[in-house]
A and B are shown apart, each in its own frame.
Chain A
Amino acid sequence: MSQNKTSTSRRDFLLKTITLAPAVAMGTTGIASLGLSNSAQATDSAPLAGPQTARDYQPVWFSAEEFAFIKAAVARLIPADERGPGALEAGVPEFIDRQMNTPYATGNNWYMQGPFDPDAPKELGYQLPLVPQQIYRLGIAEADAWAKQQHGKAFAALSPAQQDALLSDFESNKASFKQLPAKIFFAYLLQNTREGFFCDPLHGGNQHMVGWKLIGFPGARADFMDWVERGERYPFPAVSIRGERA
C-alpha cells in the first residue's frame, strides 16, 4: 500500500508545484503525462512495445555528411544490443546537434585568452584555443579523412567492426590528425554521447528515457522520503522534467 500512497502523494505534490510548467501533450503512445488521470497506475504499465527508434530529426548545425558521422559513431559508442536501445535510438545525434547551438559549444564560460600552450602538462588541463563547435567541425573532417585513408570510404560507410577499430585509434591517439589531437576529439564525442544518452529528454537525447531505464535511474522524481532506509529495489519508473513516464 505504501506504493500507492507514495504515488498519490507524489502526484498531489506535482499537481501543486508543477503549475508553472505547461502540461505538454505527449504524442507517443504508451507515455502518460504526469498529472493526468490514472497516473497512479502508471507504475504497472508495460514497457513500450516494438523496437525503439529515435524521432526523425533534421540537423541544424551539422552538415549532412557530418551528421552521418555522428549517427554512425554514437551507434558504436553506446550500441543497441541485448541490454536495450543505444545512443542512436536514444536520439543522441539530435542532442549533440542541439548542443552545438548552446553557449557550451562556444566555450561561453571558459577562459579563452591566450597565449595557449597545448604542450603543457596534462594535469594543468585543457589548453587548446578550440571550442566544441570547432572541435567537432575539425574533428569530423579529420576522422573521415582518416577513414578514407585507411579503408577508402567515409566513416559512416564502414562496417561496425571497422568503425570500432577506428574509434579505438582515435581514443588512443593512434590516428594522426593534423589540426587537433584525435583523442581530444574522441573525448568530447564520448562525453557528449554519454550526456545525450543520460540527460533529461528535454535536451533532445535519452528519448523515452531509455538511458535511465537501462540503469534504473528514476529521473526527476526527486522525492525518496519513504525509500531512504530500504535496501530493496526502487520500483517506480522514471519520470522526466516534462512529466513523461518511462
Chain B
Amino acid sequence: MPDAVPRPTVAALRARIAHLEGAETHARAVLPFGVDMLDRRMPQGGLARGCLHEVAGGGGGAVDGAAAACFAAGIAARLPGPVLWCVTQADLFAPGLEQAGLSPDRVIYVEAGDDTAVLACMEEGLRHGGLGAVVADVAKLSMTASRRLHLAAKVSGTTGIALRRWRRQADASDFGQPTAAMTRWRVSVLPSAPLPVPGVGRRRWLIELIRARAGESFDLELEGCDGTGHLGLPADVADRSAASSGRQHALG
C-alpha cells in the first residue's frame, strides 16, 4: 500500500527484512491486474513476478477448479513468453482457456502421473527461465516443495502458479497449511450480473486474497477474465468506488 506520508523508518525496516529473507536487492517486477481497486491493495501494486502463487477454487470449485483455472489462465495470458501447464488429468478445455485470453500456441501441456511428478516438472519449468509462467494442478503442496518452487521461480524470474485442486471437497482444508507462496488466492463463482433479457451475463467471481507476504488479505467482487485475460470491475461496484476509496483514505 503506498503511504501518503513517507516513513523512512518503515522503509528501512522493510529493506532489512527483505535482506534477511534473501530477496534480491533490486525491486521485483510486478504484474498489475489493471483493476485499480485490486492493485491498490496489493503490497507492491500488483502480482509479484518471479514468485510462487497459489490459487484455489472456493466451494464446489475446489474440486473442478474451473474458475481458478480461468483466473490462472488470465494471469499467464498477460505475462510474455510460453506457458507450461502441468496436469495429472487432462480435462482442461483449450477453447475455454482461449476465451480467458490464453491462446493455444502459447501453452505446452505436460501430463504427469501424480502430484510428485507434476511438482518436479513444475520445478524444471521454473528453473529453465525461458518461460513466461508455469501453472500446475496440484492437490498437496508441502512447505518443502513450495519453498523449492519459490526459490526456482526467484532465480529465473518465471512466475509459478500452483492451482490447488482436490479430489474431494473435504480435502480442501489442506489449503490452510502454511506454504512459501508469495500470495494465496481463492476464487469462487458468484451469480452473474442480471441481464435485461433471459441469459447468463458476464461471469463474476469473488476473489479473496487469503494470504500475502508483507500485505493484508481482502476480498473483492470482480468480473471474470475477458478475451485478453483482464479482470473487470462490475458496474455496480464501480459506482460504489468513490465511497469505498474514501473509506480507504479514512483508514490509512
Task: Say whether A associates with B.
Answer: no
A-to-B contact residues, CB < 8 Å: none
